[in-house]
Structure 1
Amino acid sequence: MPRVRVRKTLRAQIDLLQYKNAYEDVKAGYSLRTAAEKHGVNHCSLLRYVRKRDASGGEDNQDMGYKAHNRVFNEQQERDLSKYLIRCADIYFGLTKKDVLKLAYELTIKYKLARPRTWDDKLVAGEEWFRMFMRRNPELSVRAAQATSLSRATSFNKSNVDAFYDNLTIVMDRDNFGPQDIYNADETGITTVQKPNRVVARRGARQVGSVTSAERGTLVTVAFAGNAIGNVIPPFFVFPRVRFQEHFVRDGPVGSAGGANPSGWMQDETFLKFLEHFKKYTNASPLHKVLLVLDNHSSHIHINSLDFCKVNGIVLLSFPPHCSHKLQPLDRSAYGPLKKAINSTSDAWMRNNPGKTMSIYDIPGIVASAMPVALTPSNIQAGFRKTGIYPYNRNLFTELDYAPAFVTDRPNPENITEAEFAPIINTRPTEDETPPLSPSILSNEPPVETAVEFYAINSSPVLRTEQEHIAEGQTQAFKTPPRCQSSINVQQSSPKPSTSAQPMCLRDNEVFSPEQIRPLPKAPPRKSKKGRKLRKSTIYTDTPEKEEIRMEHEIRMKRTKAKQVKKRFDGVKTRKITTKGSKNNTQQESSSEEEECFCLVCMSPYSESRSREKWIQCASCKLWAHEECTEGGLSYVCHNCDSD
């Protein structure tokens, strides 16, 4: 027999209503063949239907047609299992193939369903069952999951998003920003080692390689800013060097600017330079205000940057923390194509410059070639449209987008009002029953939170179904489960009801539910790291918020100065214990400092070097340069000697 039977006839596809009508005619006095011919059914099948119905006392609940003899779960059970798997994937806790096979076997054990013997031998469902289950449920598919941090999954919830749109409404109504005045700024990292594109190679080859610049690349941060009509200002580069020189961005897009710091990341001073660059190309002023939406990075909310924005008419609005993957326009539509275009351009650069190593000074030229391809007006406009910033649409995200936050979406009993509390506890007693329960009656019994948590968190099938309806955005009111309306009272409530066991009312008529085996995850909100202040969506250029940041900055500076004073005091005590010969050594060091030396890259003198800053000597000309201004390595050859 084939694994999948292909129907070749229309047998056993007759509507049951025809059998019922034929049965009535047979009982009215028609012969079996006459009734079968009249209603277009087979007379042998009609005979079997008549015998089945007569044996059951005339009940109209008989089935006809072929049935799968080896089916483990019926159609309704498979639909419930399919809904459960989709729900798990929606909250970012999807099940793998092995998990599904194990869950199917455990369901047959719990509900005592007939199953093949091989399931008991391996303690999991069979591969053939999974293949046919996926075919019978085409809404399911095996997908490669994208890694998403728990912070992102739980922070993108309706309350955080509503707070952002509330602030956006305030600034839009107050200053009447047009699409040309609404900007989004964000940074991205570009390395000197690209991710190679797909290549055509020999079929069956175990490994196909592609040349890259080095094993590990050097990161250069690039900041872009685009507005809602699709325009983008020239990029701003942050190089991992001590000092920035104009020739670093010589090959970059027209109008590019840059900065430098040892880390190569956006920092407080560097972001202030970016704001000056931003003001230059947006013409922001107190008479022509500009809205700039960006994330909550610490460099973005430094007090110096906020003062600059306040003076120059730049309104700063921040996203909620860990929500940039959904709310940041450049992240949604621009940076993906930009990274692909940069990879393709880097591959082309490696082929056009065989044997050469790509340096960070080649990145501006690569960005100049990739920008026209990726940062198009249509892509940038799509980002603002997908985030609901412009055109303004605060109802853009559905309950499915907020589903991952279900993990920490536990209800708070303290905030439940009396109207919300009424459907949970029976408030419609009959004349023979006691009056409705109230929190005052439960003074000597378990607290109200116990009952609420029991109904809110209990993993019974009926209760979970209601939670799914609420999560899907349906507006129907929460109803108490059938036959459970008066099951909670003072005498029957337990101190701590179990969340794994079913209520007493469901034990008589057990309902199939995968959540009985594998409950959906539920946890309290995560605690933030110690010493890190929780941020939220804020209009940072408003006076109250800006003054709060100023107070935080002053407190931080006081702590820093106190540490510096303590360090100096410890240094004075150390110098008092020096030997008598230290004075001669100091004189020799001061005389040697008179011979000044300049860096080959940034042309900075040695006298302005920081403490413990390393220098490296060229192997050819014997001149010196900052180690951070070079590519490093055991042997260094400067760009002058390399070009010769």
Structure 2
Amino acid sequence: MFVPNVGYKRSRQVFSDEQEAEREEYIQKAAKLYYGHSAKEVRSLAFDYGVNNNVKFPIGWSDVELASTDWFGGFLKRKKTLSIRTPEATSLSRATSFNKHNVGRFFTNLSEVYVGYKFQCQEVYNVDEAAVTTVHTPAKIVATKGIKQVGAITSAERGTLVTVALSVNASGNSIPPFFVFPRKNFRDYFLRNGPEGSAGSANKSGLMTGQDFRSFMLHFIHHSRATRERSVLLLLDNNQSHLDISVLHVAKENGVVLLSFPPHTSHKLQPLDRAVFGPFKKYINSASDAWMKNNAGSTMTIYDIPFIVKLSLLSAATPRNIKAGFQVNGIWPFNRDIFTDDEFLPSAVTDRPYREDETLLSVSLTNSVGDGVPSTSTSVESSPTPCTSTVGSANSIHTHMCYLKN
């Protein structure tokens, strides 16, 4: 007895399930390499793939040499792991510097410091700077449809920058921020209505300099209560101001152990970048927008920024966010295998064969590191002393500061 087909018939696919799975895997790998494809490029690749594999496809594809938008929409519906995303701009230096060698060396240094000093979570700190300007990015608003231009008031066309240095520890606590103002001399009234316990300095540019960071170190030592008998670990990037000789001397004299991240890896390794500064900048824009509405007709100045920062830190530098920043990169709890192989894929574009002469160059550079480089490794009995580890290659030389036991 003949039974007719009932219900809806599945629409014909241009490619087989196996062919589409192959396309899906290729698109995912390209995105992980930071060389992802746009929607139009995926359609172009689908057309080329069909031509090269003698796949029967609609005639309309040949007219524009692209797969149709209908095919692309259906492809995304069938492949639930894919979606259209807005990528974050990542420099080639960051993509290639975050590799297994650099990250492994950092975790080796971190492990040696943990073992040598037996730090607790409340003694592991991270410091970084963020720029706050008097001109904010307005939030989205509800307006009339069809209007080509919708405006929002900002303080000026070009803003004035103030640097904010923030330090947090792995237990979820933070130290009052340190401000660097673009003025010749610092005055206490600069910090009016700012976060309790905050401090500051001033220079012509408003950027962090070696002398300003030395002032921050004194502020940090006061609040962290670091001493030679009770050392604390401070993780920081390789900014030139952080490696000023006066900063290293103050750190050593007060028991602050400095460990730097490898160059161009702070976007992955730095706790503040991973979990605090993202929401902090969003809350800065929201607080600045509210300030402009509450002070209609007034211009925001650099002396209003401490109050804006105070409001933003209450929501951004929460214990939950801070702890997540230390956990997501394996700093605390310690986990050197926190990063998967996929996260190192962008650095694969500059992989090259191992060469013995580069190893000899690295050894030669390490042996001669003292020539022309200020040294802070004075010998102290039964106390930690700083060392300098130098990584050499045919293209660059990077110096990482750390403190290890004799």
C-alpha separation in 2, matches of 1:331 and 1:8: 57
SS at match of 1:331: helix
By how many angstroms is 1:365 displaced? 1.4
Partner residue, 2:360: none
Point out the structure with the larger strand share: 2
> Could you tell me which amino acid in structure 1 is paired with residue 320 of structure 2?
S
> Could you tell me which amino acid in structure 1 is paired with residue 283 of structure 2?
A
SS at match of 1:291: strand
> Could you tell me which amino acid in structure 2 is paired with residue 303 of structure 1?
I
Quick one: which of 128, 134, 138 aligns to 1:186? 128
- 1:171 and 2:116 aligned: no
**Deviations 1:67-90 (Å, cap 9, x if unpaired)?**
86x643222111111110111011
- 1:338 and 2:201 aligned: no
By how many angstroms is 1:414 displaced? 6.5
C-alpha separation in 2, matches of 1:376 and 1:130: 42
Partner residue, 2:221: 279
Quick one: which of 89, 95, 101 aligns to 1:147? 89
Contact map agreement 2:112 2:404 (CA 8 A) in 1? no
Partner residue, 1:365: 307
Instruction: After TM superposition, list the pairs within 5 Å mapping 1:576-615 onto structure 2.
Output: none
C-alpha separation in 2, matches of 1:411 and 1:311: 44
Gaps of 5+ in 1: 1-6, 11-65, 416-525, 545-644
C-alpha separation in 1, matches of 2:347 and 2:97: 7
- 1:256 and 2:119 aligned: no
Partner residue, 1:95: 37
- 1:288 and 2:151 aligned: no
Instruction: After TM superposition, list the pairs within 5 Å mapping 1:245-644 onto structure 2.
Output: 245-412=187-354, 534-535=397-398, 537-539=400-402, 541=403
C-alpha separation in 1, matches of 2:167 and 2:225: 14
Partner residue, 2:149: 207
By how many angstroms is 1:373 displaced? 1.9
C-alpha separation in 2, matches of 1:400 and 1:536: 27
Shift in CA distance, 298/536, structure 1 to aligned 2, threshold 3 Å: same
C-alpha separation in 2, matches of 1:124 and 1:279: 62
Contact map agreement 1:201 1:208 (CA 8 A) in 2? yes
Shift in CA distance, 319/117, structure 1 to aligned 2, threshold 3 Å: same
With normalisation by structure 2, the TM-score equals: 0.85
C-alpha separation in 2, matches of 1:413 and 1:262: 47
Contact map agreement 1:296 1:535 (CA 8 A) in 2? no
Contact map agreement 2:116 2:405 (CA 8 A) in 1? no
C-alpha separation in 2, matches of 1:238 and 1:381: 26
Gaps of 5+ in 2: 358-392
> Could you tell me which amino acid in structure 2 is paired with residue 116 of structure 1?
P
Contact map agreement 1:241 1:262 (CA 8 A) in 2? yes
By how many angstroms is 1:250 displaced? 2.4
C-alpha separation in 2, matches of 1:413 and 1:366: 53
Partner residue, 2:100: 158
Partner residue, 1:454: none
C-alpha separation in 2, matches of 1:83 and 1:207: 42
By how many angstroms is 1:374 displaced? 1.6
> Could you tell me which amino acid in structure 2 is paired with residue 162 of structure 1?
G
> Could you tell me which amino acid in structure 1 is paired with residue 214 of structure 2?
L
C-alpha separation in 1, matches of 2:193 and 2:397: 41
**Deviations 1:211-266 (Å, cap 9, x if unpaired)?**
11011111100001111111111111001112212221122111111111111111
SS at match of 2:56: coil
SS at match of 1:253: coil
C-alpha separation in 1, matches of 2:312 and 2:301: 17
> Could you tell me which amino acid in structure 2 is paired with residue 185 of structure 1?
V
> Could you tell me which amino acid in structure 1 is paired with residue 264 of structure 2?
H
> Could you tell me which amino acid in structure 1 is paired with residue 117 of structure 2?
D
- 1:113 and 2:55 aligned: yes
Quick one: which of 84, 106, 114 aligns to 2:26? 84
> Could you tell me which amino acid in structure 2 is paired with residue 133 of structure 1?
F
C-alpha separation in 1, matches of 2:152 and 2:288: 12
C-alpha separation in 1, matches of 2:104 and 2:95: 16
**Deviations 1:351-409 (Å, cap 9, x if unpaired)?**
12111110111101111222222211111111111121111111111112212222123
Contact map agreement 1:164 1:538 (CA 8 A) in 2? no
Quick one: which of 71, 77, 95 aligns to 1:135? 77
C-alpha separation in 1, matches of 2:74 and 2:283: 42
With normalisation by structure 1, the TM-score equals: 0.54
> Could you tell me which amino acid in structure 2 is paired with residue 268 of structure 1?
G
Contact map agreement 1:167 1:538 (CA 8 A) in 2? no
Contact map agreement 1:184 1:225 (CA 8 A) in 2? yes
SS at match of 1:535: strand
Shift in CA distance, 413/279, structure 1 to aligned 2, threshold 3 Å: closer
SS at match of 2:176: coil
> Could you tell me which amino acid in structure 2 is paired with residue 399 of structure 1?
D
C-alpha separation in 1, matches of 2:41 and 2:192: 55
C-alpha separation in 1, matches of 2:42 and 2:210: 50
C-alpha separation in 1, matches of 2:349 and 2:342: 13
> Could you tell me which amino acid in structure 2 is paired with residue 328 of structure 1?
Q
Shift in CA distance, 356/310, structure 1 to aligned 2, threshold 3 Å: same
By how many angstroms is 1:188 displaced? 0.3
**Deviations 1:504-551 (Å, cap 9, x if unpaired)?**
xxxxxxxxxxxxxxxxxxxxxx985xxxx6325441x4599xxxxxxx
C-alpha separation in 2, matches of 1:302 and 1:542: 19
**Deviations 1:604-631 (Å, cap 9, x if unpaired)?**
xxxxxxxxxxxxxxxxxxxxxxxxxxxx
Q: Which stretch of structure 1 is more off in the superposition, 195-204 or 210-219?
A: 195-204
Contact map agreement 1:237 1:257 (CA 8 A) in 2? yes
C-alpha separation in 2, matches of 1:375 and 1:321: 25
Quick one: which of 103, 124, 146 aligns to 2:66? 124
Shift in CA distance, 67/370, structure 1 to aligned 2, threshold 3 Å: closer
C-alpha separation in 2, matches of 1:236 and 1:175: 27
